[in-house]
Amino acid sequence: MLDIAAIRAQFPILTAPTAGQPLIYLDSAASTQQPISVMAAIADYHRGHHANIHRGVYRLSRTATRLHEAARERVAQFLNAAEPVECLFTRGATESINLVAATWGRANLQPGDEILISTLEHHSNIVPWQLIAATTGAQIRVIPINDAGELDRDAYRHQLSPRTRLVAINQVSNALGTINPVAELIAEAHAVGALVLIDGAQWVAHGKTDMQALDADFYVFSGHKLYGPTGIGVLYGKRRLLEAMPPYQGGGDMIERVTFEQTTYAGLPNRFEAGTPHISGAVGLAAAIDWIESLGFDAIGAHEQALLQQATARLMQIPGLEIKGTAQHKSGVISWVMTDPPLATLDIGTALDLRGICIRTGHHCCQPLMERLGVSSTARASFGVYNTAEEVAALAAALSVIRDAAARQPRITAPAEPVL
């Protein structure tokens, strides 16, 4: 069992919010808040160890380099990667996917090849593939979902073929919370010779991640959804795949030797990390990993599932509220619309904000998914380790009040006859 009071005490933004009003933060799927240990690690780095890495002979630079590379080792341990060099630092999940599309995709895709993505994908796992498909002639195919927001496994099996070069799917849907059975999906893809990229942005903070058990070829995530800083993320790739990939961006640090005629490139991981990296971000990410692992994923999972069940039960009681995404396996994300009376999700979000409750409204960077669901947007609450049953109750109570107030408004109906 998590000691939620002790956890909350480590989040200044929750205990002493600067906006005055107590904060009910239900938007962790967008970005988690940061515990003080992460802030302290970053501040400590800036206070005593900051210098550019790799090239300095002086001790300070060597220390900064050591901290940066220690962060990589921490990430590798967290993911149970076979080797730290399989873990590349990027700006986040988006950049990680773009890197694979731009380098592996450019080198390997040709007309007739297929990239299989799913209806549940975030735009960051759609658009990079569209860009590379346009330049290579490869085709994108989309795994359909059922009305509950679960992947259609039969359709997937039929879509897989020797033409499938890559399957790119998320482990958890950010918009609906669906948890995809990625281990099975990966095994099925491998059986036809396809590689698999897993977008773990919405998973890594909620459950154990094990690259060697999962056998994903590429895996991506962002620090800011894992109680760490923004601007840092990870691309995991199997060593033999990364080594065969051409470089992504050119610049300092990624070379072995440069002449005006020709450049030879550095080995892993530097080949894919051109320029000065986000050193303090890597340090903060390592601290976030230390922090989340100290809580234990079994306890985290149990707490977040309890919040999800409570939220689902409470929101289902609100007349006219329709939950979108009712998959059997869901993470702590709940999406809904209000149809009776019809209320714009923007208005729901704004009315909740007036009560100090932060949720997200809109298409959640999943416009094709919204279209499949027959809506243009949803309201979404998402839970982190610091959320409480009281907060969920406050959300449900506020939604009831908002709904009842809207129901009391006189309906504006179009006049039967033209007025003029």
Q: How far is the CB of 193 from ligand PMP (least distance, A)?
A: 26
Encode 193-217: b = buried (16+ Cβ within 10 Å), e = exposed.
Answer: ebbbbbbbbbbbbbbbbebeebebb
- Pick 92 or 105: Cβ nearer ligand PMP: 92
Q: Does 92 bind ligand PMP (CB under 6 A)?
A: yes
- Pick 125 or 136: Cβ nearer ligand PMP: 125
- Pick 90 or 280: Cβ nearer ligand PMP: 90
Q: How far is the CB of 231 from ligand PMP (least distance, A)?
A: 9
Number of residues that bind ligand PMP (CB under 6 A): 14
Q: How far is the CB of 372 from ligand PMP (least distance, A)?
A: 16
Q: How far is the CB of 178 from ligand PMP (least distance, A)?
A: 11
- Pick 321 or 370: Cβ nearer ligand PMP: 370
Q: How far is the CB of 314 from ligand PMP (least distance, A)?
A: 24
Lay out the site mask for ligand PMP across 119-138 (x = CB under 6 A, - = otherwise): ---x-xx-------------
Q: Does 269 bind ligand PMP (CB under 6 A)?
A: no
Lay out the site mask for ligand PMP across 358-397 (x = CB under 6 A, - = otherwise): -------x--------------------------------
Q: Does 94 bind ligand PMP (CB under 6 A)?
A: yes
Q: Which residues bind ligand PMP (CB under 6 A)?
A: 92-94, 122, 124-125, 170, 174, 199, 201-202, 222, 224, 365
The residues annotated with a catalytic role in the active site are 365
